[in-house]
Amino acid sequence: MPPSSQDTASSVSPEEIARFGALAEQWWNPSGPMRPLHAMNALRIEWACRHLPLQGRHSRKVRVLDIGCGAGLASEALAKAGHDVLGLDASPKGIAAAHAHLEAHPLPTGSGPLAYRVGSAEELVAENRQFDAVVALEIIEHVTDPERFMTMLADLAEPGGVVIVSTMNRTLKSLAVGKIGAEYLLRLLPIGTHEWRKFITPAELGRYARNAGLSIQAIAGMVPSFSGWKESRNLDVNYIAAFRKL
């Protein structure tokens, strides 16, 4: 997950880093504890790619930062789509698993370059790094200060660049489906993966984005179906949003 245990208000806690680090070796198992991410990954990557810039500001390739990349599930998919990707995570175990998977399963010809780094968003901000697009998928609900985290995402985007965030809405339905159902009844996720009170409503996310100098471009719900996850107008549980830096 993005920030390290030494970081401040917007950081993921050491407990969160340890929790997801412990799952690193199972990250790529589509039937393992990350199976909900595997199930929704095609949709969220396809949606994200539709809202990325057509080309990078400084080169033809779009430079994408995948914050909280875990073991690289989204990073690899973005690279396969032809983008120049940096996957960033604070968990050394997660990044080690990402490297191991990439070594065992090299990207096909035509993919964009893919690199991984152990570190935090704060470190990249301090280095004045910027990207054509910043992607933060299923991570903002794990940080201690989501508004400050959105400001960092904006800082890491080039002027005119895109920030894409997917997360979970804080509704009674998400409590029933995304927390109680997924963790306690169906056991799709390890118990304790999410804290419902930290889920973020679209209105809250929009306010954080505006305060960070971002303008919303699109928003969509993500819902499961018999044929896989699909885009929806229903934002009650999972949703994804694209913002442009002003």
Angstrom CA distances, 121 to 29, 63, 133, 135, 176, stand at 27, 16, 14, 12, 32
Burial 109-129 (b: 16+ CB within 10 A, else e): eebbebebebbbbbbbbeeee
As a three-state string, the secondary structure of 196-243 is: HHHCCCHHHHHHHHHHCCEEEEEEEEEECCCCCCEEECCCCCEEEEEE
- Phi, then psi, of 107 in degrees rounded to 5: -65, 145
Q: Check: CB of residue 72 under 8 Å from CB of residue 98.
A: yes
Closest by Cα among 205, 87, 70 to 151 = 205
DSSP 13: P
Q: Answer yes or no: is 137 a known binding residue.
A: yes
Closest by Cα among 120, 244, 128, 189 to 180 = 189
- d(C-alpha 171, C-alpha 44), whole Å: 21
Q: Answer yes or no: is 89 a known binding residue.
A: yes
Residue 183 tokens, joined:
């963790």
Query: Residue positions in the annotated binding site for S-adenosyl-L-methionine?
Result: 44, 68, 89, 137
Query: Residue positions in the annotated binding site?
Result: 44, 68, 89, 137
